[in-house]
Structure 1
Amino acid sequence: MAIAEEIKKPHVAFLPSPGMGHITPLFEFAKRLVINHNFHVSFFVITTNASTAQNELFRPDNLPSDFHVIEIPPVENMSSFFTDDMRVLTQLAIIVRESLKHLPSLLMTHRPKALIIDLFCTDAFEICEKLEIPVYSFFTASTILMMFSLYLPTLDREVEGEFVDLPEPIQTPGCNPICPHDVLDQVKDRKNEEYKWYLLHVSRLPLAAGIFVNSWDDLEPVSLKALKENLFFQNIPVPPIHAIGPLIKQDEVITEKGAEILAWLDNQPPDSVLFVVFGSGGTLTSEQLTELAWGLEISQQRFILVARMPSDASASAAFFNVGSDENDPLLYLPEGFVKKTEGRGLVVPSWAPQVAILNHPSTGAFLSHCGWNSTLESIAHGVPMIAWPLYAEQRMNATILAEEVGVAMKFPVVPCEELISQKEIEKVVRIVMEGEKGKAMRRRGKELKESAKIALSKGGSSYESLCSVVQFWKSQ
């Protein structure tokens, strides 16, 4: 297409930080603007330490026309910035900081009407202020986490010591109290650089021209209402909030391996299969993986287990190399497990087509790490969850899903902090797959599935929320 023709279309740009959990929702948002609203999109991609999955996502045949990927050159000698004990968020923040040194020249070449960033790209506020380009934030996690994050600078000023040591639940304005134990990992050690980076980024949220949230009115009604009406948030003041979710992966490339998984599902009864996967970056310890395997075996339920090499060092060990972990599960799953569960269970190394599996009528439940993208995919397909949070804000999500939304069941102990025994796994799996509680969760899941469809349809709350911003951009 000629440049002159492109310029006639409204042009916005996107900038996600590394990690598929950040990239995927911004990618889906950008595609929606191109396909449904006739926009031209520049999608800036940080290429430093890019994962195999990231490179696969941006293949040219995976992109609509008018969707232009602009690669930010990799940072040289990136490893010199890191130390052996540096946590994932600190690494991510430094990668973004160094990569965005290229952003001013790229924005001057591909000048958009607006730039949409995620939480960890807030250095763009200062850059875009000089270029007079408005910046919008897309908060890719739950609304309740965003409310806690907006409240964090106040907590930081008012509370001494560690938040996890507080004797009472944390009362974020307008929310149900949050158990200190459930707060996200990044704020559990205020002396660590990770906390300082998180506090820096969330303290800049009020600078946005608007904040998009990947949610909708029926899923988080109390939080969305409080953001708009509670005096605390009015006094910050919080920019206009646009609930436009659920923005989830609409389609995915089905490989030959993926087709075999779906063919296996075709031969299972409706709602009979438990899908077990821990997101794009999650890993279990060797001991916990063994307990999980035998728990699935003694439960006598059908299952698909996406197996990943265990790590005793970190629950997020696969964050920067998702999609490249080709391995043989027989080398680390307990001896005899695959043979014992043959026919009833399917073990898949590293990766599976998650959206297609959740959308399959044979899938009855999802044992999930409760990352927000996986949560929305599960809800949008009406599938209840067994909550197995690993890191970041996943414990907060698990509590909300179990206690407020009614689509998940938690374990009595906290994964990652205590070993979950095979007997406990068997018990919870049976309750969700066969019990009355599981049936109630399945009914609630189907209600929210319909609600999500309505929200995204013409006249629905999410559709109209996005349209109001689209019309504003088109009028500029």
Structure 2
Amino acid sequence: MPDFQEGGNLEVSQLNPSLLEADSNDPYTNFNWKNLPNWINSDGILFNTVEGIDKLGLTYFRRKLGIPAWAIGPIPWPVSNKQRVGNETGEETEKFIKFLDEKEEESVLYISFGSQNRISTSQMLELAKALDNASRVEILAHKSVGAFLTHCGWNSMLESLENGVPLLDWPIAAEQFYNAKFLEQDVGVCVEVARGNNSQVKHDDILKKIEVVMGKNEKGNEIRRKTCEVKEMISDAIIDDEDFKGSSIKAMDEFLNAALSMNKLSNDERINGHS
């Protein structure tokens, strides 16, 4: 973007279809014409991210809009693995946990494209061949999970990183392409497997990238090291102790204090107006 040069460049294939097809009359453009002024005219913005991870993007919004941008993520704030599993019920969960318990540490590849995205039939076949050759199978908090093949939805990526699980990215729509670029090039915690649901993929290329992220090699070791750093960053962001408050806790406090101040000001003006 002209006013955000430090954000770097995007390839055309990293733009979502709505942007590529946009003109002055399409639904996506009309939605943004109505939506974006609400951002600009608001008193502040809450972001589901962590200050330490997303400093550059947050700096842009603060500079561009001139209003507070509070990073209060990840939402929901993480709970312990024991609590997380304890809140889930049913035979399916028990079956998956039992399966994972029988696997070696960091030997399982967890795969999910979310609830709204699908890859093509030919891509699915190539992925299946790669997995078959890799002799690896498919839940993020478990110690046996060594990587997460994901569509790059932001919530999925945060959940993976808060558990210290490296990423294999396959962006399909919306902002997923930007998430993949950011976490691969700027944060260094993932490798892009493919791009979109129309790109041609080969099983041997998918397999090669899986082995990079999950294998004991220089790049894989570096990705795991950086993923552990980000995990610690996320953990630190939500610490709420007497002697230390993490960045997300501070941001939430600042937001609530700002809301209370604005509410008091509004009440004072209303009272004075009736005097």
Q: TM-score range by the shorter chain?
A: 0.7 to 0.9
Indicate how the Cα distance of structure 1 residues 365 and 281 shifts in structure 2: closer, same or farther if over 3 A, else same.
same
Please state if 1:207 is matched with 2:41. yes
Does the residue aligned with 1:175 lie in a helix, a strand or coil? helix
1:443 aligned to which of 225, 229, 234: 225
* Number of the residue aligned with 2:165: 383
| Partner Cα separation in structure 2 for residue 194 and residue 400 of structure 1 | 23
Give the number of the structure with larger relative contact order, counting CA–CA contacts within 8 Å between residues 6 or more apart: 2
* Number of the residue aligned with 1:416: 197
After TM superposition, give the deviation of residue 379 of structure 1 in Å.
Answer: 1.0
* Number of the residue aligned with 2:70: 242
* Number of the residue aligned with 1:253: 88
* Number of the residue aligned with 1:470: 256
Does the CA contact (< 8 Å) of 1:243 and 1:465 recur in 2?
yes
| Partner Cα separation in structure 2 for residue 240 and residue 249 of structure 1 | 21
Q: Root-mean-square deviation (CA), in Å?
A: 1.9
| Partner Cα separation in structure 1 for residue 58 and residue 234 of structure 2 | 15
CA offsets, 1:234-266, max 9 Å, x none? xxx342111111113744523210111011111
After TM superposition, give the deviation of residue 414 of structure 1 in Å.
Answer: 2.5
| Partner Cα separation in structure 2 for residue 386 and residue 171 of structure 1 | 30
Does the CA contact (< 8 Å) of 1:407 and 1:444 recur in 2?
yes
Please state if 1:287 is matched with 2:115. no
Does the CA contact (< 8 Å) of 1:370 and 1:397 recur in 2?
yes
Indicate how the Cα distance of structure 1 residues 472 and 172 shifts in structure 2: closer, same or farther if over 3 A, else same.
closer
Q: Gaps (5+ residues) in structure 2? A: 79-83, 265-275
Which amino acid letter does the alignment assign opposite residue 111 of structure 2?
V
Does the residue aligned with 2:109 lie in a helix, a strand or coil? strand
Does the residue aligned with 1:276 lie in a helix, a strand or coil? strand
Please state if 1:194 is matched with 2:25. no
* Number of the residue aligned with 1:176: 7
Instruction: Report the structure, 1 or 2, having the larger strand content.
Output: 1
| Partner Cα separation in structure 1 for residue 120 and residue 76 of structure 2 | 29
Instruction: Report the structure, 1 or 2, having the larger helix content.
Output: 2
Does the CA contact (< 8 Å) of 1:189 and 1:195 recur in 2?
no
* Number of the residue aligned with 2:145: 363
Does the CA contact (< 8 Å) of 2:126 and 2:201 recur in 1?
yes
CA offsets, 1:92-120, max 9 Å, x none? xxxxxxxxxxxxxxxxxxxxxxxxxxxxx
Q: Which has the higher mean CA deviation after the structures are superposed, 187-196 or 383-392?
A: 187-196
| Partner Cα separation in structure 2 for residue 280 and residue 172 of structure 1 | 34
CA offsets, 1:150-190, max 9 Å, x none? xxxxxxxxxxxxxxxxxxxx444263223142233332212
Does the CA contact (< 8 Å) of 2:150 and 2:170 recur in 1?
yes
| Partner Cα separation in structure 1 for residue 203 and residue 28 of structure 2 | 34
Indicate how the Cα distance of structure 1 residues 204 and 180 shifts in structure 2: closer, same or farther if over 3 A, else same.
farther
Does the residue aligned with 1:465 lie in a helix, a strand or coil? helix
- 1:259-408 equivalences under 5 Å are 259-300=94-135, 302-304=136-138, 357-408=139-190
After TM superposition, give the deviation of residue 396 of structure 1 in Å.
Answer: 0.9
After TM superposition, give the deviation of residue 225 of structure 1 in Å.
Answer: 2.8
Q: Gaps (5+ residues) in structure 1? A: 1-169, 305-356
- 1:105-184 equivalences under 5 Å are 170-173=1-4, 175-181=6-12, 182-184=14-16
Please state if 1:224 is matched with 2:58. yes
* Number of the residue aligned with 2:268: none
After TM superposition, give the deviation of residue 474 of structure 1 in Å.
Answer: 4.7
Does the CA contact (< 8 Å) of 2:166 and 2:224 recur in 1?
yes
| Partner Cα separation in structure 1 for residue 169 and residue 206 of structure 2 | 11
Please state if 1:425 is matched with 2:212. no
| Partner Cα separation in structure 2 for residue 389 and residue 199 of structure 1 | 26
| Partner Cα separation in structure 1 for residue 151 and residue 3 of structure 2 | 24
| Partner Cα separation in structure 2 for residue 296 and residue 198 of structure 1 | 40
Please state if 1:453 is matched with 2:239. no
Does the residue aligned with 2:143 lie in a helix, a strand or coil? coil
CA offsets, 1:377-431, max 9 Å, x none? 01111111011001111111111110001111013x5232312111111111111
Does the residue aligned with 1:204 lie in a helix, a strand or coil? helix
Q: TM-score, normalised by structure 2?
A: 0.83
Identity, in percent, stands at: 29
Indicate how the Cα distance of structure 1 residues 260 and 213 shifts in structure 2: closer, same or farther if over 3 A, else same.
same
Which amino acid letter does the alignment assign opposite residue 60 of structure 2?
A
CA offsets, 1:105-142, max 9 Å, x none? xxxxxxxxxxxxxxxxxxxxxxxxxxxxxxxxxxxxxx
| Partner Cα separation in structure 1 for residue 112 and residue 158 of structure 2 | 15
